[in-house]
Structure 1
Amino acid sequence: MNSSVIGQSAEGAVNFLFQHFRGGFDAFSAALGTVVKLLENGLAAVPFVAMLVILVAFALWRRGVVFSVFVGIALLAIHYMGLWTQTVSTLALVIAATFFSLVIGVPLGIWGARNRRVEMILRSLLDLMQTMPAFVYLIPAVILFGLGRVPAVIATIVFAMPPVVRLTTLGIRQVREELLEAGRAFGSTDSQLLWKIQLPNAMPSIMAGVNQTIMMALSMVVVASMIGAGGLGEYVLSGIQRLDIGIGFEGGLGVVLLAIVLDRLTESFGVKAKKAKRTKPGTRTAKAGSNAAART
């Protein structure tokens, strides 16, 4: 089946990039691959018992006793199934993809919130990124960066970044106008309004975007395993290829347990930010405005 003019144009664009900028893509691939490998090695260097204690203590601090017990049981179940190494590999990929998604997505969300025209362009691009089947991202990623973790991370970034961009823009847009007027009355500049008023008040929405980005990154685990990402997705893929229900179920259960742990922990930051926002907003805003005025 031959592709249409649109498909041929997309193919030509990817081939042009590959032919003329191959050295740049190779250098970027090596750098990103090194970052992901260092992250994975760092996580793998931590003994399981130490990681168990750290995560259980962190869950106890953020969510309480019940959830900390669940985290302990979940990690022990993953270790008992012999999937700890694969879980660490998946966690490294998710952390790397989420980090770069935030580094790119939050500034884009701020830009979109402050410029209507930029928001319209971003909205169209984000719609395309969210509705395009995830498998489609893998084709140009493999052509430009080869097989392995690097194209998996890049495809995951493209797939997982839209929520944090959208929710950052939404959070900043929803900051009450009277808060901004109070800041201006104290002599705050635009940058001071952003850092002292808009971002703190938008933090619950931004943290919700972070949570959704992590979940979408995890949802790419199995898809990314098709191009050599490794981790739990590769274990699930192996079960599919062998029609082995046991392997597939264990790998899927590992993904589910990891997703629940990450979801509840990141969600707790958004809940705490929302509670902090509700406590004495007038006092915090006036204080932010006076501090900004003192610096001008």
Structure 2
Amino acid sequence: MFPDDLTFSIADWVNRGVDALVTRYGDLFRQVSESLLWVIVRLENGLRLVPWWLLLIIVGGIALHATRKVFSALLIMGLLFLVGAVGLWDKLLLTLALMLVATVIAVLIGIPLGILAARSNRLRAVLMPLLDIMQTLPSFVYLIPVLMLFGLGKVPAIFATVIYAAPPLIRLTDLGIRQVDREVMEAVNAFGASRWQQLFGVQLPLALPSIMAGVNQTTMMALSMVVIASMIGARGLGEDVLVGIQTLNIGLGLEAGLAIVILAVVIDRITQAYGRPRHEVRP
């Protein structure tokens, strides 16, 4: 047995820190929560207003533009139609809205941080251990402080998803910019390009495949949080999976699980296609 004299706990320290945050910035957290919830609700309502057949055509058009393959676009439309055919269309839209908001926030945070990390070795040395912790810490651990700050519902689910899903995008953005050929950068410097011209004219375009791979990974990881998010009040396909587990309803859980897989396949194929150089995408 480990001696009690040598044991210690950080639980009290963490609890005091979270309590201080709630006391000092509670109003700010409430405003952020209300604003984010407003965006989510409007997006959900907007998706519901679009007729199902029109949404299928829109997604099919995006898939066709990305893959340049008619068969792939028709297959994606057919998979989404299958989700609606089993009565999960509304749940699919709720999950899609939640995931889109979380992914957009992760992109807005991840790409700038990746760019800064690529430009600063000191910042990178600080970020990498934090990203390791964010990726290895069990996702349930994120829910505890987020619930204390934002309560139950969609907002804490989004923040927990962002924490879990942002690290791959930060890493791959940093990696993509660092892998830009030095000879190319020397030639750009020789022409007197500013740092902003180098970034937007050379580095980001050349690093785009790596960045899009990061967006793909972030999207997939955000989708993997769907079931966990349902445990704290976020509705959608994850809710049906959770109910299926709780009631031992294998059919319900399987239908919702397959719908999540279909959504993952659709998003994965589109983002991967946009991540490849356009000359590699053949009609």
TM-score under structure 1 length normalisation:
0.90
Does the aligned pair in 2 maintain the 1:235–1:247 contact within 8 Å? yes
* Equivalent pairs, count: 274
Partner of 1:204: 209
Cα offset for 1:61?
2.7
User: Does residue 18 in structure 1 map to residue 22 in structure 2?
Assistant: yes
1:230-253 CA distance string (max 9 Å, x none) = 000011101111110010000000
RMSD (Å), alpha carbons:
1.4
> Aligned runs of 1:130-145 on 2, under 5 Å?
130-145=135-150
Secondary structure of the structure 1 residue equivalent to 2:10: helix
Letter in 2 for 1:17: L
Partner of 1:67: 72
Cα offset for 1:54?
1.3
Partner of 2:3: none
1:166-211 CA distance string (max 9 Å, x none) = 0000000000001111111111111111111111111010000000
Does the aligned pair in 2 maintain the 1:204–1:274 contact within 8 Å? no
Does the aligned pair in 2 maintain the 1:109–1:166 contact within 8 Å? yes
Q: Structure 1 unaligned runs (5+)?
A: 277-296
Counterpart CA distance in 2 for 1:36 and 1:161 is 19
Partner of 2:59: 55
Q: Structure 2 unaligned runs (5+)?
A: 1-6
Partner of 2:270: 265
User: Does residue 32 in structure 1 map to residue 36 in structure 2?
Assistant: yes
User: Does residue 116 in structure 1 map to residue 121 in structure 2?
Assistant: yes
Greater alpha carbon shift after TM alignment, 206-215 vs 266-275: 266-275
Identity of aligned residues (%): 49
Does the aligned pair in 2 maintain the 1:101–1:161 contact within 8 Å? yes
Secondary structure of the structure 2 residue equivalent to 1:119: helix
Partner of 1:180: 185
Greater alpha carbon shift after TM alignment, 52-61 vs 36-45: 52-61
Does the aligned pair in 2 maintain the 1:204–1:273 contact within 8 Å? no
Cα offset for 1:272?
2.8
Alignment counterpart, residue 192 of structure 1, candidates 193, 197, 212: 197
Counterpart CA distance in 1 for 2:58 and 2:187 is 42
Secondary structure of the structure 2 residue equivalent to 1:230: coil
Counterpart CA distance in 1 for 2:132 and 2:205 is 27
Alignment counterpart, residue 11 of structure 2, candidates 2, 7, 13: 7
Counterpart CA distance in 2 for 1:24 and 1:30 is 10
Counterpart CA distance in 2 for 1:199 and 1:65 is 30
Letter in 2 for 1:46: V
The runs of 4+ residues in structure 1 deviating greater than 4 Å are: 273-276
User: Does residue 42 in structure 1 map to residue 46 in structure 2?
Assistant: yes
Partner of 1:104: 109
* Residue 274 to residue 17, structure 1, CA distance change in 2 (3 Å): farther
Alignment counterpart, residue 251 of structure 2, candidates 246, 251, 263: 246
Cα offset for 1:274?
7.9
Secondary structure of the structure 1 residue equivalent to 2:19: helix
Secondary structure of the structure 2 residue equivalent to 1:73: helix
Counterpart CA distance in 2 for 1:109 and 1:193 is 16
Counterpart CA distance in 2 for 1:105 and 1:137 is 18
Secondary structure of the structure 2 residue equivalent to 1:5: coil
Partner of 1:171: 176
